[in-house]
Amino acid sequence: MPIAKYSLEDDVFATSVYGVEWAGPDGDRLTIALLLLQSETPSTIQIESFVETLDYTPSAPVSSIIESTTDWKVDSEGKFHLITSKSSPIVGISKGKNISKWPDISSQKSFDEEQKKAINEAWKKEISGVSQGAYVSQSQHMLAMPSRLGLHAQEDASVLLWPPRQLNDEGERIAPASNKLEKSATILTWTKLSALGAPSEFSLRAPLLGGVSTVLVEFSSGPKGVFMLADDEERIPSIDQTVHFEVRRLYGQDELIHYGLKAVLI
Amino acid sequence: MVDVAMVGAGQTKFGNHALGLKGMWSEAVEKAFSSVDNDCSPIMVEEAFIGSIAFGGSQLGNTAALLTEHSGMDGVSVRRVENACASSGFALRDAWMTIKSGQADIVVAGGIEKMNDLSAERKRYWLGVSGDTEWERLAGLTFPGTYALTARRYFHEFDSTHDDLVHVSVKNHMHGLDNEMAHLRKDISFEKASSGAMVADPLTLYDCCPTSDGASAVILVADHLAHQFTDTPIWVKGSGAGSDKLALHDRPSLTQLRATQLASQKAYSLANLQPNQIDLAEVHDCFTIAEVLATEDLGFAGRGEGGLFARNGYGRRNEGDVTINASGGLKSKGHPLGATGTGQAVEVFKQLRHQVESTRQVRDAEVGLTHNVGGSGATCAVHIFGRER
């Protein structure tokens, strides 16, 4: 989902395509912020007030998520401030810490108010749940974050490896990730799981979205991976179609939101 | 080296059981020992291997000790074997290796799973924990999803459509119709199987095996004891196992199971047999596409010809060179995860001794194969059995 952007003097702002009303079915202030940061020339940024305004706690520090996903550096003395409204999912990059008036960015896409309420409620319930889904340890989440969010890949015998691996087939340790995969890939196959077939993590939202769509893609540099489709995508994917990737909420558990890349059909 | 014979085999009916773990396991053991022609009792067992995922988390630790305690094997050296849906295929292999190595002469291999007294959500949690939780599962995939990805790619790469999968489903339901141990004993038409509710596009309800409760057990003995227990031992002629990357996206091919290829190559080599010498094969059809792949990876069909094999009905009982899933397979007989592998061995044991219901006996069955896969192909155990040593 492209963000809607608006410039005012030296500041830039963004919302989802739904405007200031809704961040979308798997978006929030942080996912909008990441897209906005990616669209601007990287610099240093302060994020303290932004973090305080988030609805839920991310499973990893926001600074790590930003630096894994963008080329911006988080700095308490940074040149810019990442700001957001307490009442609306609008995000800005500003030289000042406070904004007197938020711009009214009109929505580019309509949504069903009931659907929005139902999905927001599902997220709320899901996040307050206790480990009903698969358990991936916090340390594993942190270790894999540059790969999960930034597509950082390892190299072994001139072959790029992603997701991260430990020892190679000769039993030698593979060096840490030093490359980045391309920002787009080609669909090799795809499926759409019905609510009945979806993992338990998605049991509340899958029925509302009509199922969960997943694509298995191949990067031109070699590695393959699986990604959910972003947003409430209604288009049917096809083999050989190109996708690019954006950060979205994956699932919530134990009062934490887990983020990852999702595929956007081009 | 010592040869290994199967002298007894038994199982519960697969399906929805009122019995719990202890009740199902003891029933399977009772049936296995009562199937031995001459005196044999659980107290004679020296080692036991019990496959289970401990689905639902009930008695997750020390599962096997609890079960042997309640099945007349008190004090035996026992352990739970866990390799997802291939748990008891590997329990069988461990039992075989124990006798081959000379460490024991009488060994039980079995499996058990209690799946159907959980809520739908908890069931989906446990069904997903054997896949790649870090990447696949967080991309929305459970096993229906991974096999759906495989199916769509298979249709893209080869001359095959969903109709080929429907043929698998119809055949296996036909085979399971007269199997008193089967979970879903109902004949289904091609039309009905073509129009099932979508589970994971392109796989429908009729492409998916049921989740079942059940237990199964077989008794293996060293060659010098075989004829003490029966005049018709079934010999374990070959055993092979293999593994592969856990996640589908880490494998070079999306339409082949390397673990199956590795396991079957070893089993065929040990048995000194070729695929065209197998009379019946119980293959791991957790999803219909899995049977299509298995017919290729086990050598019954050429690469890319598994769909055609199904379309032409080559696996139907007594119609082709090999009968595929005479029991009804996982699709009809059912899939109590940990019990499936040795459940396949129970079927082959009875088929080779010509002891199944007459309507479903594979004619002149001399050699049978079992193929038990863990997850989407991360692990696989293949065994070859014969009436001749």
Instruction: Provide the number of CB pairs (under 8 Å) joining chain A to chain B.
Output: 120
The span from the CA of A248 to the CA of A29, in Å, is: 10
To probe the interface with B, which of A136, A148, A165, A200 has the most B CB atoms within 10 Å?
A200
Q: Is B387 helix (H, G, I), strand (E, B) or coil?
A: coil
Q: Are strands B234-243 and B379-386 parallel, antiparallel or unpaired?
A: antiparallel
Q: A63-100: per-residue pLDDT in tens?
A: 999 999 999 999 999 999 999 999 999 999 999 888 87
The answer to the question of residue A250 being in a domain is: yes
Q: B63-121: per-residue pLDDT in tens?
A: 999 999 999 999 999 999 999 999 999 999 999 999 999 999 999 999 999 999 998 87
List chain A residues with CB under 8 Å of B134.
136, 140, 144, 163
> Which tokens go with B42?
């659980």
Q: In chain B, what are the domain boundaries?
A: 4-118+211-234, 142-209+236-386
The answer to the question of residue A167 being in a domain is: no
> Out of A202, A212, A226, whose CB is closest to B136?
A226
Tell me the shortest Cα–Cα distance from A32 to chain B, in angstroms.
20
| Residues forming a β-bridge with A46 | A81
The domain B142-209+236-386 having CATH identifier 3.90.1150.10: the answer here is no
Residue A235 has a CB neighbour count (10 Å cut-off) of 9
Q: B300-356: per-residue pLDDT in tens?
A: 999 999 999 999 999 999 998 999 999 999 999 999 999 999 999 999 999 999 999
The range of the structural domain enclosing residue A191 comes to 138-151+180-265
Kindly determine whether residue A227 and residue B139, on different chains, have CB atoms separated by under 8 Å: yes
Residues A134-146, mean pLDDT to the nearest whole number = 82
> Do A93 and A185 belong together in one domain?
no
In this predicted structure, the answer to whether residue B371 has a pLDDT above a threshold of 70 is yes
| ipTM at complex level | 0.95
To probe the interface with B, which of A160, A161, A192, A226 has the most B CB atoms within 10 Å?
A226
Kindly determine whether residue B202 and residue A202, on different chains, have CB atoms separated by under 8 Å: no
Tell me the shortest Cα–Cα distance from A151 to chain B, in angstroms.
13
The answer to the question of residue A236 being in a domain is: yes
> Do A186 and A250 belong together in one domain?
yes
Q: Is B347 helix (H, G, I), strand (E, B) or coil?
A: helix
In this predicted structure, the answer to whether residue A233 has a pLDDT above a threshold of 70 is yes
CATH assignment of the domain containing A218: 2.40.50.840
Query: Which residues of B are marked as active site?
Result: 85, 335
List chain B residues with CB under 8 Å of A194.
197-200
CATH class of the domain at B4-118+211-234: alpha beta
Cis ω on the peptide bond leading into residue A199 (within 30° of 0)? Answer: no
> Do A34 and A147 belong together in one domain?
no
The answer to the question of residue A58 being in a domain is: yes
**Residue B292: closest CA among B150, B184, B190:** B150
In this predicted structure, the answer to whether residue A131 has a pLDDT above a threshold of 80 is no
What band does B17 get if pLDDT is binned at 50, 70 and 90?
A: very high
Q: How many domains does chain A have?
A: 2
List chain B residues with CB under 8 Å of A203.
121, 124
List chain A residues with CB under 8 Å of B139.
214, 225-228, 260
> Do A145 and A60 belong together in one domain?
no
The answer to the question of residue A84 being in a domain is: yes
Residues A37-55, mean pLDDT to the nearest whole number = 95
Entry pTM: 0.96
Q: Does B136 touch chain A (CB under 8 A)?
A: yes
Q: B110-163: per-residue pLDDT in tens?
A: 999 999 999 887 888 888 888 998 999 889 898 999 999 999 999 999 999 999
Say whether B142-209+236-386 and B4-118+211-234 share the same fold. yes
**Residue B302: closest CA among B166, B160, B163, B202:** B160
The answer to the question of residue A126 being in a domain is: no
In this predicted structure, the answer to whether residue B278 has a pLDDT above a threshold of 80 is yes
In this predicted structure, the answer to whether residue A133 has a pLDDT above a threshold of 60 is no
Q: Are strands B323-324 and B203-204 parallel, antiparallel or unpaired?
A: unpaired
Confidence (pLDDT) at B128 = 81
